[in-house]
Structure 1
Amino acid sequence: MYIDEDAIKSFSLNNTYEQESQYFPLSCPYRQMNPFPPFPQGGPQSGPQGGPSSGRPPSSAPNFTPPEPKVQQFGATPLIDQGAIRPCLRRFVYIWPKRGRGFWAWLTFVGPRSVSGFRWYRNTWRYFGMDLREISSFQCF
């Protein structure tokens, strides 16, 4: 393919972006999109403390670790459904990931494939997000 000087001079990166947003549907896996919802008011570590409308947890995490529920598996690995974890929105929830140690969380978003909110880490709440496929089990409080 031969590209002449006029084609190079007329190339515009802005035009390419406009074409991408015009021709690629939102569901296209190659489209550049943020996988997590926007941060709550004021960003991940700022904003009002507590309160039902702020999205942040009202207090520190509970000071106990619940026992992990025993789940019977018949062949395939069980998957967590968004409908099952949705009642845990704006409540304390203990999450056991498939890899790593369990942790306390305060969920502010439940999507079709992911959850996000605040995770209790080293005596403070940190914003986090994770794929539902990475959750082994959970328990709401």
Structure 2
Amino acid sequence: MLYRFPRPPFGGPPFLFQPGPTFRPPIGGPGMPPVGPGGPSDASMPPGRPPSYTPERAPGIRAVDPGAIRRCRYRYTYLWLENGQEFWSYLTYVGRRSVSGFRWIGFRWVYFGTDLRNIESFICQ
């Protein structure tokens, strides 16, 4: 698709713009980490690898309150999800109904997000 803008008022040729395969509109919103063509900014990246152990699960937690998990922002946090998945994360955003940040997949961090209803239990380091 080729966009043609009108001739500038001061003269000169019209401006042509054609988005290429690397063109992506900015993603994110208020309270979200800055995201561009390369993903979230380095400022919100985890400082290193997560702890090398799996923490013991706290008994009895069934509902996750945003106020309780908010203290886990910018800290290594182990999550147990309702679907049986469990992993180390580094949360950078905690909203009223969701969290997002980075998830450790064994050899690197990847950006993720989930609804608070999906979190069965968590523990912060």
Q: Which of residues 107, 119, 139 is equivalent to 2:91?
A: 107
Report runs of 4+ in structure 1 exceeding 4 Å deviation: 34-39, 41-47
Distance 1:95 1:80 in 2: 11
Matched, 1:40 2:31: no
Normalising by structure 2, we get a TM-score of 0.69
Distance 1:99 1:36 in 2: 29
Q: Which of residues 43, 46, 49 is equivalent to 1:57?
A: 46
Offset of residue 40 of structure 1: 3.3
Normalising by structure 1, we get a TM-score of 0.61
Give per-residue Cα distances to partners, 1:51-83, cap 9 Å, x unaligned.
xxx0100001110000111117xxxxx321100
- The percentage of aligned residue pairs carrying the same residue is 43
Distance 1:64 1:125 in 2: 16
Q: CA RMSD in A?
A: 2.4
Residue ranges of structure 1 left out of the alignment (5+ in a row) = 1-33, 49-53, 73-77
> Which one has a larger percent strand, Structure 1 or Structure 2?
2
Residue ranges of structure 2 left out of the alignment (5+ in a row) = 1-27
> Which one has a larger percent helix, Structure 1 or Structure 2?
1
Distance 2:67 2:34 in 1: 22
Does the 8 A contact of 2:33 with 2:40 survive in 1?
no
